[in-house]
Every structure is written in C-alpha cells, then in structure tokens.
Amino acid sequence: MDVLRKLEILADAAKYDASCASSGTELRDSRDGKGLGSTAPGMGICHSYAPDGRCISLLKVLLTNACNYDCLYCVNRASSNVPRARFTVDEVVKLTIDFYRRNSIEGLFLSSGIIRSPDYTMEQVVRVARTLREEHHFRGYIHLKTIPEACETLLAQAGRYADRLSINIEMPLETSLARLAPDKDQRTIRRTMGRLRLKLDEAREATKEAKKSITKVRPPRFAPAGQSTQMIVGADTASDRTILDTSANLYGAYRLKRAARCRRRPRRCCASTGSTRPTG
C-alpha cells in the first residue's frame, strides 16, 4: 500500500479528533486545478489551538487504525470491517517533515490503535517523536496520545519529546466505560493521568528552581503544554450535571489544560487510550 493511500485511511480515521477546522460554511476546494484555496480540511491536516492561543495547523494521523480493543463507540474497534493501514515510524516522520517544509503544518498530532501490546504501541508513538526531535531537530509542536497501560518509562520519554500529552477519560461514568469498552479500565486511566500530573508538577518546580539558581541550567523538559483529555457524551445515560461534575473534577484533580467533550459519533476513531480529540 503506498503512503498516499495510508494517509487517506489514517487521516480519515483521525478526523473526528479535529478541534477547530473551518466550519459554518460550504466546503470548497481547488483540487480539480481550478480556483485557489479551500474551505475543506486537507487530508490529515487539522487546526488546533497552541498553548499561547494561536490557531495552528497540525498533521493529525493515526500510526495505525488496527486495534486489539473492541470499544463499541469506535470505528476502529477490532470487530469493525474497515480498511486497515499502518504507517512505519519513518513514514510519519517523513510526512511531518515534508508537510512542515511546505509550510502546510506547524506540528504533529499522533495517536494510534493498540497493536500487540500497549507498551509496543506506545514505544512506536514515542519513537516518531524522538526521531523528529533528535534526528531531525524538529522544533514544531507535537501532541501525543498516551496509552494509560504503557509503562512509566515510556510515559517519561513521551513527555520529554512532546509538547502536550493526552489520555482520554472516554466516559463520564466508570460503569459506562466498562460496558462500552470492556478492554479499558477507568481506574488505570485516572492513575496514569495522576502520574502525568505529578511529573508535570515536578517539571514546573524544577523550572522555577532553575530560574532562581546561579547556573540557570534548564531541567529536562516534560510536556510543557501540559495534559488534556476527552470525554464522549451522549453514549450513555449520564446527566448533564454528571458530565459537568466529572469535567470539573478532571480539571481540578489532574490540572488539565483542556477536558474536551464530544458527542458520540458512529464513526469516531481514536487512539491509544481510546480516542482523541484535539486540543492543541
């Protein structure tokens, strides 16, 4: 399968994670060679808010839409009959660099279905970010979806290379997640979000100390744009009050930059912990 076809499948699989693409107007493009410009999102490119409030373009793709899990709300679930594709690490790196050089994007939003094991998948996701940062000295924005079951070493590495990490809480109610996504466990998700918060707090403290010190040596970075999450609403019986209370609790407990809520979509895709909705 050539890279363009993979991009078609894996960008489509990630499209419901879009944050703020052009909306409210008719879709027009100039792909037939006539005209100029487009109001339709380009394949794999979405808009998202950077931590400083700018709206930036990101290459938003899944590493693969194959998945061992069978979350009922996800088009990429194991039992779904959709075309599957998988990028190699080098293919995602090359696409990111190529799009960046053409000035089409300012960063990468990478997620993945879970293949082989959470650690294996997370290692592949981290390897993309590490290759971009260390081999290509990529200074653009990187947002990685994080797999809650992945080991702590991989989470630490993800934070070293990414600007933002996110783990999807998925459902407002733990019982709903157990029913709709039997392979997932909200306690594991929350535990990993708690670990990320601790690492973010440690990094913030270390930065403050470094500023006060004489040497001003910068401490190792850890996801300077913080962590975010996403919750699907409408797939269970959670009331508006429950949804708002859960969101408030998430912001407070994990010091999130954003807890995005999205309506249940029959063709929603996700990644790592499940899905992903942009957040920049």
**Binding piece for ligand SF4, criterion CB under 6 A, among 133-141, 231-239, 243-251, 267-275:** 267-275
Tell me whether residue 94 or residue 183 sits nearer to ligand SF4 (CB atom): 183
Quick check: 170 and 177 in contact, CB under 8 A?
Answer: yes
**Binding piece for ligand SF4, criterion CB under 6 A, among 42-50, 200-208, 259-267, 269-277:** 269-277
148 counts as binding ligand SF4 under rule CB under 6 A = no
Q: Which residues pair with 228 in a beta bridge?
A: 166, 258
Residues 171/175/181/184 CA torsion (nearest 10 deg):
90
275 counts as binding ligand SF4 under rule CB under 6 A = yes
Tell me whether residue 140 or residue 274 sits nearer to ligand SF4 (CB atom): 274
User: Roughly what angle, to the nearest 10 degrees, separates helices 152-161 and 186-212?
Assistant: 50
113 counts as binding ligand SF4 under rule CB under 6 A = yes
Q: What are the angstrom distances between the C-alpha of 120 and each of 133, 153, 261, 273?
A: 20, 12, 28, 14
Q: How many whole angstroms separate alpha carbon 56 and alpha carbon 20?
A: 10
Out of 69, 87, 141, 222, the only residue in the binding site for ligand SF4 (CB under 6 A) is 69
67 counts as binding ligand SF4 under rule CB under 6 A = yes
| 47 membership: H or E segment, kind and range | strand 45-49
169 counts as binding ligand SF4 under rule CB under 6 A = no
Closest CB 116 distance from ligand SF4, rounded Å = 13
Footprint of ligand SF4 on this chain (CB under 6 A)? 67, 69, 71, 74, 76-77, 113-114, 181, 270-271, 274-275
